[in-house]
Amino acid sequence: MDKRALCIGINDYPGTGSDLAGCVNDANDWAEALAGRGFEVAVMLDAAATREAMLDDMGKLVSAADSGDVVVITYSGHGTWVPDTDGDEKDLRDEALCPHDLRAAGAITDDALFELFSARKRGVRAVLVSDSCHSGTLQRLAPPIGDNPVRVRFLAPEVFLPADQRALAERASVAERAGRPRRSALVLAGCRDTEYSYDASFGDRPNGAFSYVALQALRQLPAGATYRDWVTKIREQLPSADYPQTPQLDGTSSQRRWAALA
């Protein structure tokens, strides 16, 4: 059985005015934790994490895996949404990840991720850990906490969408949320679709609130603990008064019973 991982962290978003601080640290922290659990790990940071490179490296990682292998992809960066154009989203939105070259190349939608993970061979355990916002409102900054400003990992669609798509975005911004399940991979996410994931600081070191808590919880799990056990442990600390985000675990019942990062 092979265990491979790709850890992506993007602080730098040129032309958006919305750079982050903790995502590169997140990626390196996830990489260290995964390497300690026997994974062969690649790291993709900032300018290296273009849309093309992310899709290419994620696709290669998933397609190269054979039955019994474990593939883990972690992403820390901005999340966003774009107007749904194929009619498969009741809320009129496709949730999306934001590559470094978002303004030039566009977002990576949940449709693209679904297709990418669906191409895996039977018996491959694929996991996506996403520390980003998948929210529908246009708020960008959270209120400061203490001396450390806290930034929300959500990038408003109008920052990067072309003018001809903004009317669709305005329609989607008032639609009732109802998305459909995405179960081609097990997804461990930092928040609900209607919430924000927070870019924070712990001991004067920037991190995502979710990544920091999730990795703390991972170290406290007993051998053989499942993903369900892991998210339960994470939820002992999140949501909190400082970080009102609710970590999510989306997958089939059998996927939820997989041993965490094993």
Q: Is 134 a catalytic residue?
A: no
Phi/psi-derived region of residue 15, left when phi > 0, alpha when psi is between -120 and 50, beta in every other case: left
For residue 193, which amino acid is it?
A: D
Q: In what order do the strands lie in the sheet with 93-97?
A: 79-83, 93-97, 108-109
| Residue 78 annotated in active site | yes
Letter for the amino acid at 112?
Answer: A
Structure tokens at 39: 């994974």
Residue 81 confidence (pLDDT): 85
Active-site entry in 100, 133, 134, 191: 133
- Which one of the listed residues 78, 98, 134, 191 is annotated catalytic? 78
E strand spans, 163-210:
186-189, 198-202, 205-208
Preceding omega of 239 cis (within 30 degrees of 0):
yes
Count Cβ atoms below 10 Å from residue 57 Cβ, excluding itself: 17
- Yes or no: say if 71 and 124 are a contact pair by the CB < 8 Å rule: yes
3-256: CATH topology: Rossmann fold (3.40.50)
What CA–CA distance (Å, rounded) separates 151 from 137?
Answer: 15
**pLDDT per position as a tens digit, 54-80:** 999 999 999 999 999 999 999 999 998
Question: Predicted confidence band at 165 (pLDDT cuts at 50, 70, 90)?
Answer: low
pTM check: above 0.85: no
pLDDT-based confidence at residue 86 (cuts at 50, 70, 90)? low
Give which of 200, 89, 185, 195 is closest to 134, Cα–Cα: 195
Percent of the chain with pLDDT strictly greater than 90: 69
Q: What is the pLDDT of residues 183-222, one digit of tens each?
A: 479 999 999 888 889 999 999 999 999 999 999 999 999 9
Q: What pLDDT is stored for residue 167 in this prediction?
A: 56
Give the DSSP H/E element, type plus range, for residue 83. Answer: strand 79-83
Q: Which of 104-108, 138-142, 216-220, 224-228 has the lowest mean pLDDT?
A: 138-142
